[in-house]
Amino acid sequence: MTTVTRRVAPAPQSTTGIRFPQGFTWGTATAAYQIEGAASVDGRTPSIWDTYSRTPGRVRNGDTGDVATDHYHRWREDVAIMADLGVSAYRFSLSWPRVQPTGRGPAVEKGLDFYRALTDALLEKGIEPVVTLYHWDLPQELEDAGGWPERVTTDRFADYATLAARALGDRVKTWTTLNEPWCSAFLGYGSGVHAPGRTDPVAALRAAHHLNLAHGKAVQALRAELPSRARASITLNIHHVRALTDSAADLDAARRIDALANRVFTGPLLEGQYPQDLLQDTAGLTDWSFVQDGDTATIHQPLDFLGVNYYTPTLVSATTGEAAHGSDGHGMSEHSPWPGADQVAFHRPPGTTTAMGWAVDPSGLYDLLMRLKADHPAMPLMITENGAAFDDYVNPEGEVADPDRIAYLHGHLAAVQRAIVAGVDVRGYFLWSLLDNFEWGYGYSKRFGAVYVDYPTGKRIPKASARWYADVARTGTLPDRGGVNG
């Protein structure tokens, strides 16, 4: 992705009763550490997020994922909720330390049995299981051995992929290797606002490469074990980067962030090489000698589709002062997640915001999809995460009205449909998230779910947005804006 745009972009046009293509996938999504709980049950050992969340000062209110929403014990109830919603697919991640506790050696059958039972229940309800191998829960023992900055971790991940494929390959046909490797590399090893909490810009770049390499090795491992009908993918949180002005300096700032946020992954994954401007921008930090001969060929594996996560656009400008990365929407830290971009400032886009402080801007999703079509026209796309956090509460009638979330979803689904009409091959949409859950460094203070969770009791209450989304999924039709209500 080499193009950047200005701040101002046209909003998607509202459409009356627009229909999505036949066979469009309607899903919802979660991540293991955010919902499962049962942190030390049935042989599971700590992940980097267990260690990080239990470290004082790391997570808001000292929250941990030890219990989360207790999905490990309440999964039958959650599958029933999905069936009531009428979704056709459920994207969930496997907990690496539940399947392979130390990141080495044989799998733990009790951990695999949990996922076998979950998958069977989904299939019985007509819901396609979509498995993500890695949603940020690296086994702590592998981090102790160096983590993602070390090349050996890529081999451990390939072994884990083989174990998962052998256990679930007869049930699961759609596989995602990594979720948002940008966050794993640059928030985990650069700014330190995600686990494991390290703050080394070179380690972050090394981690980015090794995550890419791990993906390539995992795809090879999956294809060696799975039937030919199986589909392999990766999910990226591709940033839609906009320049504050049309000045040469601001446009170059946007180019620089686009390289660090997007093309560090799309380059080797989809084109077989790292972009030269990225290597030049970061030459003062590293010579990239950790990229060995043959690595980019291994990374550049054929994919059946590209998963796209989108929440809000990124607005940047040049600055002659210190880096202002604190406004990038990725959490506050004295350390930047943007190595080699010290002269880039981040700005909060105008307009309404979610509880995360993220601008609500569906035009960013439309523009992003159009850019992907222009840059990679043959690659099918899947919206694997899109949603919003708001300050939801249970009213005296025991209901949760969330009209702001409904409006957010309506606007972004309209953007997806507009892109489809313009020729973008978008195959499906996964609402983030099924349940309110542990929101990483924010603990339980932010609610993204279509289903409200009362954390002390675990009680689930579908929000108004859940009923609204169920209607859209069932009919394949987005109502006109007049039909958006709580």
What does DSSP say about strands 305-309 and 241-243: parallel, antiparallel, or unpaired?
unpaired
Strands 128-134 and 174-179: parallel
Contact call for residues 368 and 9 (beta carbons, < 8 A): no
| Helix, strand, coil percentages in the chain from 3-state DSSP, rounded to 5 | 40, 15, 45
Please confirm, yes or no, whether 271 is among the known catalytic residues: no
Identified catalytic residue from 36, 128, 143, 180? 180
Rounded Cα gap, residues 144 and 251, in angstroms: 40
What the block records as the tokens of 241 is 């980067």
The answer to whether residue 143 is catalytic is no
Selecting among 128, 143, 385, 439, the annotated active-site residue is 385
Query: CB-hemisphere CA count at 13 Å for 435?
Result: 31
Give the residue among 158, 162, 23, 36 at the shortest CA–CA distance from 92.
36
Helix (H, G, I), strand (E, B) or coil at 423: coil
CA distance 32 to 117: 15
d(CA 172, CA 159): 18
Give the containing element (helix H, strand E) for 245: none
Residue with tokens 């929407």: 329
Q: How far apart are CA 484 and CA 467, in angstroms?
A: 11
Interior/surface letters 210-249, b for 16+ CB within 10 angstroms, e for the rest: bbbbbbbbbbbbbbebbeeebbbbbbbbbbbbbbbeeeeb
Angle at the Cα of 178 (from 112 to 70), degrees rounded to 5? 45
Tokens representing 408 are 């957010």
Residues designated as active site: 180, 385
